Structure formats: C-alpha cells, structure tokens
C-alpha cells in the first residue's frame, strides 16, 4: 500500500489539431503549454518542474527537436523558463507515465508546479510508416526483415488470433470506430468531429495490416497537449482540480485500485488507448469489466456508450480526435473528473481510469473528483 496520493492535475491545454501545418512543432507545444498554465490560473514564473515524452513513434521519424520531437532542454528555452528545479524526458514513455513521474517529483518535494508536455507532428515529405534502413540491428533483426515492426503489424496478428478464437468479425470491430466517431462529434478539436462513418465505408476502406484497415488506425496529426500538476495542498485558487488517487504499470496493473482504495467497480468511465481499434478490448477484459473474449460484445451492445454502464473514450479516443499518443485520454480523464467537460460532461464522473500503451506495456492512472 502506497502512502495516500496527494497530488492533483490543476490545468490542461490543447493546441490546434490538424493533419499538416506550416507552423513548426514548437509553436504547437507552446500553444498547449501556455494554455495549460493559464487554465491552472498560473503564470510561467510559477512553473518549476517539467516532464515530457519526446519520442516520435512512427517508423519514418527523423527524431529532431522542433521537427517531430519536443525535448525538455531546448523547449525550456522556447518557453523562457530559467529557474526550473526539476525536469526530465521519459524515453518512449506514455502520458500516463508523465503523470506518475510528475507526482513523484511533487511528492518528493522537488517542485511545486510541474508542466507536462506531449506533442506529435506529421511531417510533410517524410514517409510516415516506412523504415528506410537497409540494415536491422539488435532486436530489430528479428522484427524488421518481416515487416512486423511497421503499421501495427504485431497488434494485427494479436487481434487476428482473438477474432478467430472468439468468432469476431470486422463488422464487430467497426463498432469501436463507430463509437469513437459518435463521441468525437462532441469534441471541438477532434479531427473527425464532423464525420460519422458507415459500415460500408469501413468495409470498403483500404487494408493496412489485416484485419486492420485505414480507419482502425488513429490518424497522424500535428498537435500538442500539456497539463499542470501540483500537490493537493498547492491547488491554485482559480483552478479546478482532479485528484490522482492511484497509478500502476503493466506488470502490476491492479495496484491502481489496491493502492487507491477505489475498486474497478467504482470506476464510472474509462479512457482506453486506441492507437489501433482492437486495443480497446484489452483492458475491458484485463480489469474484468467483461469476461475474457467478450469485450467486442460489450462495445457492440452499447455498454461503452455515454449512456451505457461504463462509458469509454468519451472524447472520441485517438481514433476520433487524432494521434496524440494517449494525451487526449489524460485530458478527458481530467476534464471529466474536474467537472470541466462541457457538453461531454457525464453525470457519473467521480472515478476515471486512464490507460495508455499496448497490452504488454500499458500504464494506468486513476483520476478522481475527491482527494
């Protein structure tokens, strides 16, 4: 049992989200960071901690700061911050890992207000999905020669096996995308906010890595999001807080509940990572909201809709909003439990579980209305 968590998310900012842009990546990250600081009722001078996850996850990435990655030291200069007490970038981390790392820094007394920034950028002239390398080093030598490391192929083989085993069709998988689009309609920054999708349109779409077609993959975008966190005793007077009551990693997933005193049955809503549609099934079953092999029915039958028993991805998920690598999931967890979700606000929003990452490397945070 961990000591009772005493940190809160106190502000969040989202930049414009667009497919391509003439603006550089730093402009997006600054837009999000400044919005988050203002949302918390703070100024730049109040920020004394920073946490980021720069990694551009696509095969064709150039991995350059300000091009497709935002790294902590040069970004501090762009923000004009000169007296930071604590800062770090998490290598290949997820936004949920950022939340946990920020809590660690706050609980250790390193700093008072941590800014967390995650940005993605869709570069023109770079082939997003293609590995240009002619050689495969290290672990890649057993992955890249087969194509398994590209376009979610390893998740495609996983869902293929699930579908064969449990009698799931692509009609059923479509229900995940349909749910995302329904919810994206209430999200003003979502890429697909004005675009519902029909089953025919889905079935006619080009395959990417079977059984995933184009619409099973979240769409690459230019965009950035940022949060501000503090200890619960330091919540700014103008801020609406959501309290971080638990967290865990994939090797001990249930710790998110065991350490918080909140049970899986107490959770009102979930924001579940959906970089590929089939990933949404994983933790609905992993946390036993559904029996093994039944998550697809849960979604098909409407239980994950906003009027269902466990609303999922109420902002449209990455599939509806665009590929912010799970940061949109954190934002929605914050907005819902802080009572700031506007027309998306659910009446039951005391406990929101946020999960980001693939089935075998996810991390989890529990955001709550009360400390």
Partner 1 sequence: MARPIPVPSAESRPFWSAASAGELHLPRCRNCGNLHYPPPARCPECLTEALHWEQLSGRGRLWSWTEIFVEAIPGFEPPILVTQVELAEQQGLVLTAGGDSREIPALTLGSEVQLCFTEPVDGFRFPLARPA
Nearer to partner 1, 207 or 238 (CB): 207
Q: Could you say whether residue 3 binds partner 1 (CB under 8 A)?
A: no
Q: Could you say whether residue 57 binds partner 1 (CB under 8 A)?
A: no
Strands laid side by side in the 351-356 sheet = 86-89, 49-52, 114-120, 223-231, 7-14, 242-249, 363-368, 351-356, 269-272
The helix (H) or strand (E) run that includes residue 86 is strand 86-89
Q: Could you say whether residue 323 binds partner 1 (CB under 8 A)?
A: no
Nearer to partner 1, 147 or 342 (CB): 147
Residue 71, SS3 per DSSP: coil
Restricted to residues 118-177, the positions that interact with partner 1 (CB under 8 A) are 129-148, 150-151, 153, 156-158, 160-161, 164-165
Residue 353, SS3 per DSSP: strand
Nearer to partner 1, 173 or 356 (CB): 173
Nearer to partner 1, 160 or 297 (CB): 160
Q: Name 13's Cβ contacts closer than 8 Å, sequence gap at least 6.
A: 31, 32, 33, 34, 35, 36, 37, 38, 39, 225, 226, 227
Nearer to partner 1, 148 or 264 (CB): 148
209-248 footprint of partner 1 as x/- string (CB under 8 A):
xxx-------------------------------------
Nearer to partner 1, 212 or 329 (CB): 212
Judged by CB under 8 A, the stretch of 92-100, 186-194, 203-211, 251-259 that binds partner 1 is: 203-211
Smallest distance, partner 1 to C-beta of residue 218, A = 15
Residue 89, SS3 per DSSP: strand
Q: Could you say whether residue 293 binds partner 1 (CB under 8 A)?
A: no
Query: How far does CA 367 lie from the centroid of its chain?
Result: 14
The pair of structure tokens assigned to 352 is 């929101």
Q: Distance between CA atoms of 178 and 143, rounded to whole angstroms?
A: 32
Closest CA to 322 of 226, 212, 219: 219
- Binding-residue total with partner 1 (CB under 8 A): 37
Q: Which residues bind partner 1 (CB under 8 A)?
A: 59, 129-148, 150-151, 153, 156-158, 160-161, 164-165, 206-211
């Amino acid at each position: 049992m961990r000591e009772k968590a005493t940190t809160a998310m106190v502000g969040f900012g989202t930049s414009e989200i667009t497919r391509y842009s003439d603006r550089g990546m730093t402009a997006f990250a600054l837009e999000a960071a400044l919005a988050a600081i203002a949302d918390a009722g703070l100024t730049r001078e109040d920020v004394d901690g920073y946490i980021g996850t720069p990694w551009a996850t696509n095969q064709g990435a150039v991995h350059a700061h300000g091009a497709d990655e935002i790294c902590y030291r040069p970004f501090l200069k762009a923000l004009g911050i000169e007296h930071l007490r604590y800062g770090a970038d998490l290598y290949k981390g997820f936004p949920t890992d950022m939340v946990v790392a920020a809590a660690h820094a706050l609980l250790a007394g390193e700093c008072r207000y941590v800014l967390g920034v995650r940005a993605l950028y869709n570069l023109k002239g770079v082939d997003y999905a293609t590995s240009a390398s002619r050689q495969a080093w290290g672990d890649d030598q057993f992955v890249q020669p087969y194509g398994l490391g590209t376009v979610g192929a390893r998740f495609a083989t996983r869902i293929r096996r699930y579908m064969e085993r449990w009698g799931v069709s692509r009609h059923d998988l479509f229900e995940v995308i349909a749910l995302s689009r329904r919810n994206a309609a209430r999200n003003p920054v979502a890429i697909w906010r004005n675009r519902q999708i029909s089953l025919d349109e889905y079935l006619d779409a080009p395959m990417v890595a079977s059984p995933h077609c184009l619409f099973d993959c979240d769409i690459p975008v230019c965009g950035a999001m940022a949060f501000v966190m503090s200890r619960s005793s330091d919540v700014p007077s103008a801020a609406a807080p959501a309290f971080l009551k638990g967290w865990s990693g994939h090797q001990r997933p249930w710790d998110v509940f065991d350490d918080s005193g909140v049970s899986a049955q107490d959770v009102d809503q979930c924001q579940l990572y959906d970089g590929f549609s089939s990933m949404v099934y994983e933790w609905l079953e992993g946390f036993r909201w559904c029996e093994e092999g039944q998550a697809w029915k849960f979604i098909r039958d409407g239980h994950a809709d906003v009027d269902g028993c466990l609303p999922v991805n109420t902002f449209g998920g990455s599939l509806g909003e665009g590929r912010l690598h799970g940061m949109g999931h954190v934002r929605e967890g914050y907005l819902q439990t802080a009572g700031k979700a506007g027309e998306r606000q659910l009446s039951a929003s005391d406990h929101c579980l946020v999960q980001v990452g693939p089935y075998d490397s996810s991390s989890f945070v529990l955001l709550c209305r009360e400390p």
